[in-house]
Amino acid sequence: MQSTHRFVRFAWKGANYWGEHEGNHVRRWSGAPYEDGQPTERSCPILDVEWLPPVVPSKIIAVGLNYAPHVAESASADAIPDEPVIFLKPSTALIATEGSIILPPNVDRVDYEGELGIVIGIGGRSISVAAALNHVWGWTIVNDVTARNLQKKDKQWTRAKGFDTFCPVGPWVQTEVDISQAKLTTRLNGEVRQQGSVDQMIFPIARLISFISGVMTLHAGDLISTGTPAGVGPLAAGDRVEVEIEGIGILVNHVKVS
């Protein structure tokens, strides 16, 4: 079968694998495709596998306030930033598509933030803007789930952005797509809540990679979440939240109380 360029991670019979999504099956890979992994002859029916987040990052770097309409709706921001605003999310926050976002107890408001994710394929530091896209392995979808009240209370965003399950990623990493003008849509229980286009970013993709790599060395596998368009809003138990990006797919998650 021809390559679909949709790379996943999954659990099957007690072990975790990299794979490539091929219709009703997943073809197993021998390791991470951005390292020395290769396709194998083995495949598993999709109905038999459990999806895992399709990334194994040494760090997750997220960008705040990267779409002007979201800056305008954000009470914490009074101006367009003159440099990218970056923060980290812990790897323990990762969940896969179809996984559940768990609302922590005693937290008033937890929001969805649909975002484009960049997966690094070739690490580096102080990467130039001109070379930045050569360091990208592929593209995915991130929901930068945020405890909004705690974000405002703490100033530092680690707690608000860092709860377990607050980083849904998937459904896969798409390695062959032109996302330069891709549309992003977030739906809550089927209703459209966010619509944006990647070309509306204040700091574009190459600039983000260059800027971040000037601060911290990027490793292959690292995930960068590029900021959310306008329309963020709260999640409640029982909700179904979907983030769709043209050319990649749809990340679907459910919301539960702990």
Burial of 48 (0-12, 13-18, 19+ CB in 10 A): exposed
Residue 228 contacts Mg ion per CB under 5 A = yes
Residue 111 contacts Mg ion per CB under 5 A = no
Spatial CA neighbour of 124 closest among 54, 247, 210? 210
Residue 242 contacts Mg ion per CB under 5 A = no
Spatial CA neighbour of 51 closest among 169, 225, 187, 186? 169
Q: Which is nearer to Mg ion, 221 or 227 (by Cβ)?
A: 227
Q: In angstroms, give the least distance from the CB of 41 to Mg ion.
A: 40
Q: In angstroms, give the least distance from the CB of 174 to Mg ion.
A: 20
From CA 138, how far away is CA 117, in angstroms rounded? 9
Q: Which one of 65-73, 121-129, 223-231, 246-254 is the stretch in contact with Mg ion (CB under 5 A)?
A: 223-231
Q: In angstroms, give the least distance from the CB of 109 to Mg ion.
A: 15
Q: Which of 144, 222, 242, 244 binds Mg ion (CB under 5 A)?
A: 144
Q: Which of 70, 103, 111, 113 binds Mg ion (CB under 5 A)?
A: 113
Q: Which one of 15-23, 92-100, 143-151, 247-255 is the stretch in contact with Mg ion (CB under 5 A)?
A: 143-151
Q: In angstroms, give the least distance from the CB of 64 to Mg ion.
A: 6
Residue 194 contacts Mg ion per CB under 5 A = no
Q: Which is nearer to Mg ion, 49 or 63 (by Cβ)?
A: 63
Rounded (to 5) percent helix, strand, coil in the chain:
15, 45, 40
Q: Which is nearer to Mg ion, 216 or 230 (by Cβ)?
A: 230
Question: Which two three-digit tokens encode residue 107?
Answer: 């937290």
Nearest residue to the partner Mg ion, using Cβ: 144
Sheet containing 233-234: give its strands across.
146-147, 110-112, 233-234
Which secondary structure element, helix H or strand E, spans residue 21, and what is its range? strand 15-22
Q: Which one of 25-33, 126-134, 137-145, 169-177 is the stretch in contact with Mg ion (CB under 5 A)?
A: 137-145
> How far are the Cα atoms of 113, 118, 138, 178 from residue 198, in angstroms, in the given order?
14, 12, 15, 11
User: How many C-beta atoms surround the C-beta of residue 192 within 10 A?
Assistant: 12
Contact residues for Mg ion, defined by CB under 5 A: 113, 144, 228
